[in-house]
Amino acid sequence: MNDTLGWKRLRAVREPRWFAALLIVAACLPALVGIAGMGSDILRDTRFFGSNPIKAGEHFLGQWTIRFLILTLAVTPLRQQLGWNWLAKHRRTLGLFAFAYVMLHWLTYALLDVQLDWGDLLRDLAKRPYIMIGMAGIVLMTPLAVTSTKGMIRRFGGKRWNALHRLVYVVAVLGMIHFFMAVKKDLTEPIVYATVFAGLFAFRLFRRSRRPATVPS
């Protein structure tokens, strides 16, 4: 009986007043660390990101892109399992941060690594297919970010908007392929992230399989 009451109280928890502000601050911190660390290494010859700060900075920002994708996809399971429906409104925020981090990841590559040399970029695309896969993920993420406003949700309508935003699962798969191909040697991190994504995908499929079938009229 006490366990039941405790579970009901847990499900009835409202959003803490400080949560939205804390989420924004916490989400910005890794970007500040990455930018400050790379800037210090390049301009002051420090070693926050080791001997190759640009590559390490790219990797750092790319990892945070994947983490924000995981957090975005984790909102629905957490909301459904814990009853924290207030989490739903933060899903868009997390998704937009995932897009912001992938753009920082790409800008680090384009501005600092190849230094906007389009010849080098094309040669990289030819030699390293994982870069093309990563760019495909960015292209697919762009309409998701653009249509994240309430106005765009109204224009699209719920069904079409939801259908479009299922592309996030394709983006996650492309991101993991990109990560696996980029790392090459130590695959521990990609395997951990891929396992988490697989769990989130499995949860969604399980929930869909348990929905009652609609009876035609």
DSSP assignment of the chain:
-HHHHHHHHHHTPPPPTTHHHHHHHHHHHHHHHHHHHHHHHHHH---TTTT-HHHHHHHHHHHHHHHHHHHHHHHHHHHHHH--GGGGGGHHHHHHHHHHHHHHHHHIIIIIISTT-HHHHHHHHHH-HHHHHHHHHHHHHHHHHHT-SHHHHHHH-HHHHHHHHTHHHHHHHHHHHHHHHHH-S--HHHHHHHHHHHHHHHHHHHHHHTSPPPPP-
Q: How far is CA 149 from CA 63, 137, 160, in A?
A: 26, 20, 14
Domain count, the chain: 1
In a domain, residue 144? The reply is yes
Taking only the tens place, the pLDDT of each residue in 126-170 is 888 999 999 999 999 999 999 988 888 888 877 888 888 899 999
In a domain, residue 169? The reply is yes
Q: Is the pLDDT of residue 11 over 80?
A: no
pTM of the predicted protein model: 0.88
Sequence length of the chain is 217
pLDDT of residue 162: 84
In a domain, residue 145? The reply is yes
Lowest-pLDDT range of 10-19, 58-67, 68-77, 125-134: 10-19
Domain that holds residue 204: 2-209
Are the beta carbons of 157 and 101 closer than 8 angstroms?
Answer: no
Residue 216: pLDDT band (50, 70, 90) is: very low
In a domain, residue 148? The reply is yes
In a domain, residue 214? The reply is no
In a domain, residue 139? The reply is yes
Amino acid at the residue 110? A
In a domain, residue 215? The reply is no
Taking only the tens place, the pLDDT of each residue in 74-97 is 999 988 888 888 898 899 999 999
In a domain, residue 217? The reply is no
pLDDT of residue 212: 60
Look-up of token digits 């997390």: 94
Distance CA 38, CA 19 (A): 30
